[in-house]
């Protein structure tokens, strides 16, 4: 009998703690966590990192990343991040926020942190619903999308149009980098990682505020299978939330 030779070709990043996930099958939070973890490893930021947790399904990110962390109230992560970064300017400070957290209750905090050009990085997971509380309408919910609080489908006349955060953030003075990626397929995941890396570099090089929006699936609240959720991102989300870089002054030496 010949001995089988096993070779590990896909390991966990060191920054990611090896534990069972609490996320639903097909949830993209885990992918986003992994991308962040890979970059912390590659950029050797793990020991310097201070994570600002936010409120949403990803509140437990601090259980998965092996970095120091503080938990912010719902929507306030950019303000908490501001305080942390001003207190410890030599550390690497980043927030990780959902769309209800960032684009609704935390709209003031994200806009002003971005506009001040805080030297922090923001990973923004847009899954078009409030995942943790059971799939209510978010500011990013697509037109016509049915949620538990928009049972007839989101209507522009009644609920307004979905907010495109990456474009809004790109328009603010202190922003060095603003981009939108997607986690629906391998090609997009690889591109998303490049966006996050750029945003992180803007902090490392003190260029300015870095922002990456990630279109993500919430199969549970979308009432879809993981495969259907990926298809929905392609067919419905990307046409409304175009992928790409909306601002990049990382090569220009930054903002005073």
Partner 1 sequence: MSKQPERIFIKGNEAIARGALAARCKCFFGYPITPQNDIPEFMSSAMIKAGGDFVQAESEVAAANMLLGAGAAGIRAMTSSSSPGMSLKQEAISYMAGSEVPAVVVNMNRGGPGLGDIGPAQGDYYQSTRGGGHGDYRHFTFGPGTVQEAYDLTIRAFDIAFEHRTPVLILGDAILGQMKEPITPWEPEGVDDEAGRDWAISGRTGGRDKRLIKSLFLAEGELAGQNKHLQAKYDSWTDLAECEQFETQDAELVICAYGSIGRIAKSAVRKFRKEGKKVGLFRPITLYPFPSADLKKLAEEGKRFLTIEHNLGQMVDDVRLAVRTICDSEFFPIYPGNLPTPDELEAPILACLEGK
For binding to partner 1 (CB under 8 A), which residues are involved? Answer: 46-50, 52-53, 59, 62, 66-73, 76, 79-89, 91-92, 108-109, 111-112, 116
Residue 27 is a binding residue for ligand SF4 (CB under 6 A) = yes
Among 12, 17, 24, 60, binds ligand SF4 (CB under 6 A): 24
- Alpha helix stretches (DSSP H) within the chain: 29-42, 61-64, 77-87, 99-100, 107-116, 156-159, 165-170, 186-204, 219-222, 226-232, 238-240
Q: Say how many residues touch ligand TPP, by CB under 6 A.
A: 17
Residue 15's Cβ-count burial label (10 Å; 0-12, 13-18, 19+) is: buried
Q: Which tokens go with 70?
A: 């503080």
Stretch that binds ligand TPP, among 3-11, 52-60, 84-92, 147-155 (CB under 6 A): 52-60
Residue 221 is a binding residue for ligand SF4 (CB under 6 A) = yes
- Residue 89: phi, psi to the nearest 5? -65, -20
**Which residues in this chain contact ligand TPP in the complex, by CB under 6 A?**
55-58, 74, 98-101, 125, 127, 129-133, 138
**Which residues in this chain contact ligand SF4 in the complex, by CB under 6 A?**
23-24, 27, 29, 57, 127, 131-132, 218-221
């Amino acid at each position: 009998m010949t001995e089988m030779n096993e070779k590990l070709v896909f390991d966990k990043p060191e920054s990611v703690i090896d534990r069972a996930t609490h996320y639903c099958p097909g949830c993209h939070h885990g992918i986003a966590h992994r991308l962040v973890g890979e970059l912390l490893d590659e950029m050797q930021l793990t020991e310097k990192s201070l994570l600002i947790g936010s409120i949403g399904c990803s509140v437990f990110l601090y259980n998965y990343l092996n970095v120091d962390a503080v938990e912010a109230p719902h929507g306030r992560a950019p303000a908490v991040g501001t305080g942390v970064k001003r207190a410890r300017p030599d550390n690497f400070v980043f927030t990780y926020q959902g769309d209800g957290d960032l684009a609704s209750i935390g709209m003031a905090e994200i806009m002003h942190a971005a506009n001040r050009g805080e030297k922090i990085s923001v990973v923004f997971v847009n899954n078009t619903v409030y995942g943790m509380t059971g799939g209510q309408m978010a500011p990013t919910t697509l037109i016509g999308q049915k949620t538990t609080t928009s049972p007839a489908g989101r209507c522009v006349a009644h609920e307004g149009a979905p907010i495109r955060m990456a474009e809004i953030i790109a328009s603010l003075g202190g922003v060095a980098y603003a981009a939108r990626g997607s986690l629906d397929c391998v090609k997009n995941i690889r591109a998303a990682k490049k966006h996050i890396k750029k945003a992180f570099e803007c902090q490392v090089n003190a260029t300015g505020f870095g922002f990456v929006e990630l279109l993500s699936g919430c199969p549970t609240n979308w009432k879809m299978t993981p495969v259907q959720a990926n298809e929905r991102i392609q067919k419905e989300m990307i046409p409304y939330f175009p992928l790409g870089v909306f601002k990049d002054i990382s090569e220009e030496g930054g903002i005073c």
